[in-house]
Amino acid sequence: MQWPTHEVTNQVPELQDYNLFSSDVALSAGLRRGAGGWHEENLRRFGATLGSEDVLRLGELANHHLPELNTHDRVGRRVDRVEFHPSWHALLGLLRHEGLHSLPWSDPRPGAHVARAAGYFLQSQVESGSLCPTTMTFASIPVLQNEPRLFAVLRDKLYSREHDPRDLPLEQKKSILIGMGMTEKQGGSDVRTNTTTARPLGGEGRGAEYLLTGHKWFFSAPMCDAHLVLARTEGGLSCFFVPRWRPDGSKNAILVQRLKDKLGNRSNSSSEVEFQDAYGVMVGDEGRGIPTIIEMANHTRLDCVIGSAGLMRQAFVQAAHHARHRKVFGRTLAEQPLMRNVLSDMALESEAATVLMLRLAQAFESPTDPLERAWRRVVTPAAKFWICKRALEFTGECMEVWGGNGYVETGPMARLYREAPVNSIWEGSGNVMCLDVLRAIERETEGFLMLLDHFSEVANGHATLSGLVSSLRKDLATPPEQREMLARRFAQRLVLAAQACLMLQSAPADVAEAFITSRVDAESGRVYGTLSATAMQQAILERAWPAQQT
């Protein structure tokens, strides 16, 4: 027998059945600015789908029922197959249906990169693990397009909007996913230390068939239909297209040793593998494996920025929703002056991350323009460094708004927090990104100076921002022996200058001013909730999360 001991009150209702796109003013305005307005109705429909109770539940299920590795079938044959919960395939089906794996390539038109970034940003708020194979497939397409004979076979399967979960040879699939296999035990980011070898099966060089022997310490995701892999030939480190199945229909000799037991991104399977004369086709010129992969990395790094910005947006709306319902000391949390300061500060951070990721996506529209190339080649690694690191602090702060309710796995905050670190690590950690910024400036000096001129033009008449841009110019004269040591400091200021300029161009003047003042003001520090002006806080919150959403 049971009897009531208390009445459940002051608990916050689930945030569900809302439109992720329509409720995001900065995203919809940025889409139109980036010439992606033609995709707005699709994103509005997609935003409603993603905010539904059923789809939000898919994200929970995919992270509760983790992938399972079966190395052999019941009679002892080697299969190396990873089994997923149906929710995983449903999420991949959503991504595929929206074209987030290929949109700018399969439907090339002005604003396609921005439209795709906006959709990716929306789905990242629901579930992050399913984004990994989507990103790798997306980034592989421009690399594979440079191999006409191979691409002709793969094109329709890469562009297909239908998810095909079957483990079959390529020619039998309706659609395919592409993964990556770069890092090895001894090297990590230093892929030049790779020891995996490739020996020619017949001819040699680009487009020829090889057999690979060696290992990969991180192989994501093993159930992709093929992977781009680095291995050594006599001509040096080269790139190979390695399918799960050989052309003769037999399983390729890619042996999955185990799945990684990861902190976050748990719905996605990452693995350790060994190659025992695994079949592969050389992609790109022999000995040019790293430059071949760099083109892919530029896209994957942007997706890290988009994904982190999406995590920040979702963490913020969860925190704002909670604060408008939870009462403490006679008032809702959102009515408490200090909490309002924290929330409005985080709203600024989230909007600045959103407008930056959209601007970077726009830069991919114009591959030959030197200014756009500077945005793409210099600012993207700086943004990956800064936005991904800010997401770590940001999701932790949003969890704190929920208090103890945020620290348990029955709510969304713990998963958002666990997801945040991966984007800082994947495709190059913070130091790697900052050093890449310096290398990019050396190679794209003219474009970078054009970028600083652009910042100066936007900042004209704004003393605080003009001072920040001037400091970046002075940094160019830093002696080489000091430049590397100060790389993080430089990358941080570069991103803040870019965000400040974008906020001046896109946000209401008072909102932009609140961002610039708080980010350049040394007294503000790095914790949220230190805004000095109070007049704009309610307007900032209303812009970020309108009251009618609650």
The closest alpha carbon to 100, from 52, 42, 37, belongs to 42
Q: How far apart are alpha carbons 507 and 520 in whole angstroms?
A: 17
Angle (CA) 271-273-278 rounded to 5° is 140
Residue 288 neighbours by CB under 8 Å, 6+ apart: 236, 238, 239
Cα distances (angstroms) measured from residue 76 to each of 79, 111, 289, 538: 9, 51, 36, 64
Give me the pLDDT at residue 398, please. Answer: 98
Give me the pLDDT at residue 295, please. Answer: 80
pLDDT digits (tens, 9 = 90+) for 238-270: 999 999 999 999 999 999 999 999 999 999 999
Residue identified by tokens 């709203």 is 347
Q: How far apart are alpha carbons 286 and 206 in whole angstroms?
A: 6
Contact between residue 535 and residue 388 where contact means Cβ atoms under 8 Å apart: no
Q: In DSSP terms, which residues pair with 245 in a beta bridge?
A: 251
Q: How far apart are alpha carbons 177 and 285 in whole angstroms?
A: 23
Give me the pLDDT at residue 520, please. Answer: 84
**DSSP 8-class letter at 161:** S
Give me the pLDDT at residue 173, please. Answer: 98
Other residues' Cβ atoms within 10 Å of the Cβ of residue 327 = 12
Other residues' Cβ atoms within 10 Å of the Cβ of residue 90 = 17
Give me the pLDDT at residue 525, please. Answer: 54
Cα distances (angstroms) measured from residue 160 to each of 3, 4, 139, 156, 325: 57, 55, 15, 6, 43
Mean pLDDT by 10 residues, the chain (550 residues): 90 97 98 98 98 98 97 96 98 98 97 98 98 97 96 98 97 97 90 95 95 96 97 97 97 97 96 98 96 88 98 98 96 95 97 98 95 97 97 97 96 97 93 95 94 97 94 91 91 96 96 92 69 81 85
pLDDT digits (tens, 9 = 90+) for 350-398: 999 999 999 999 999 998 999 999 999 999 999 999 999 999 999 999 9
Residue 394 neighbours by CB under 8 Å, 6+ apart: 311, 312, 315, 316, 346, 349, 350, 420, 528
Residue identified by tokens 């057999």 is 211
Give me the pLDDT at residue 522, please. Answer: 55
Give me the pLDDT at residue 528, please. Answer: 87
Q: Where are the extended beta strands (E) located within 234-371? A: 236-243, 254-259, 270-283, 327-328, 331-332
Q: How far apart are alpha carbons 53 and 85 in whole angstroms?
A: 18
Other residues' Cβ atoms within 10 Å of the Cβ of residue 308 = 31
Q: Is 392 exposed, middle or buried (0-12, 13-18, 19+ CB in 10 A)?
A: middle
Q: Is 52 exposed, middle or buried (0-12, 13-18, 19+ CB in 10 A)?
A: middle
Maximum Cα–Cα distance across the chain: 79
Other residues' Cβ atoms within 10 Å of the Cβ of residue 186 = 11
Buried b (16+ CB within 10 A) or exposed e, 189-225: eeeeebebebeeeeebebebbbbbbbbbbbbbbbbbb
- Helices 463-475 and 487-506: crossing angle, nearest 10°? 150
**DSSP 8-class letter at 245:** B
Residue 352 neighbours by CB under 8 Å, 6+ apart: 499, 500, 502, 503, 515
Residue 378 neighbours by CB under 8 Å, 6+ apart: 437, 440, 441, 444, 447, 448, 451, 494
Contact between residue 252 and residue 246 where contact means Cβ atoms under 8 Å apart: yes
Residue 500 neighbours by CB under 8 Å, 6+ apart: 352, 459, 465, 468, 512, 515, 516, 519, 520
